[in-house]
Amino acid sequence: MDVLLGSWVLHGSQSLEWEELSRTGLPLCDAVVNLAGENVLNPFRRWGDAFCREVISSRVETTKTLAKAIVDAEQPPRAWVLVTGVGYYCPSPTAEYTEDSPGGNFDFFSRLVSSWEAAALIPGSPARGVVVRSGVVLGRGGGAISQMLWPFRLGLGGPLGSGLQPFPWIHIRDLAGIVCHALESECLQGVLNGVAPSSSATSNGTFAREFAAALGRPALLPVPAWAVRAVFGAERAVMLLEGQRVLPKRTLESGYCFIFPDLAGALKEIVA
């Protein structure tokens, strides 16, 4: 299967510039996957209007570019997969969300996901549309783990704020697996929640303890909420100090079998 990856605009082993894609159109391919998006939790970027515009453009405008390319293609791809986020759902310590749950209109991030997913809609297109709403992606060499690894290795890690907030997570191999599942399942379309089956029972505190245990370290130093807000700003801090209990109901019903359904197994593989 020849797949165009929209995060780097890769086509097979070749790369394209976004401007070239806009000018020449979509190359012949079986599927398009959009993984593009500026890192919202970059601690070196101040949260302000300019950064917000970058965050929006890197998601919504790239998605619009790819959607237009699909519409204009002489031979459209068979599948069109977009990876967004569980920020679509309203943070709650008790509510549980499936793919059919409402959301998308209560804060900056939920509205961002709504705009992002709306940009991917192509009514009447022969390309199957699948949206994967991802939780926190855990894997080696990048993402959330890379920011937490050294503090935890030094025994300086701990929960954020109260530690009671839900922590929706997924191993990177399962996120890739769900995307591949979406590409290969010719009848599959709509929303899939990209979270591990046990993540609805995982709190931030649970994650901190399990991560520390996997490293053979304690997790005794919580990061106070005020410090998180000071680094990231009040609006972004919500992503870390609050969370959602998300269930991969439709993902499981579609036949996807998780490689890492539980946190201990996922972390053991990552830090091994």
Q: In angstroms, rounded to a whole number, what is the distance separating the alpha carbons of residues 142 and 87? A: 20
pLDDT digits (tens, 9 = 90+) for 186-236: 999 999 999 999 999 999 999 999 999 999 998 888 999 999 999 999 999
pLDDT digits (tens, 9 = 90+) for 184-194: 999 999 999 99
Contact between 99 and 130 under an 8 Å Cβ cutoff? The reply is: no
pLDDT digits (tens, 9 = 90+) for 232-244: 999 999 999 999 9
Q: Which one-letter amino acid corresponds to residue 52?
A: C
Its CATH architecture, for the domain 3-271, is 3-Layer(aba) Sandwich (3.40)
pLDDT for res 154: 87
Q: In angstroms, rounded to a whole number, what is the distance separating the alpha carbons of residues 32 and 122? A: 13
The proportion of the chain whose per-residue pLDDT surpasses 70, expressed as a percent, equals 94
Indicate the average pLDDT of the chain. 91
DSSP 216: T
pLDDT digits (tens, 9 = 90+) for 106-148: 999 999 999 999 999 999 889 999 999 999 999 987 778 888 8
| Tokens, residue 55 | 């965050």
E strands, the chain, are 3-5, 10-11, 14-15, 31-34, 79-85, 96-97, 128-134, 136-138, 169-171, 190-194, 245-246
Q: In angstroms, rounded to a whole number, what is the distance separating the alpha carbons of residues 265 and 162? A: 25
Q: In angstroms, rounded to a whole number, what is the distance separating the alpha carbons of residues 250 and 73? A: 30
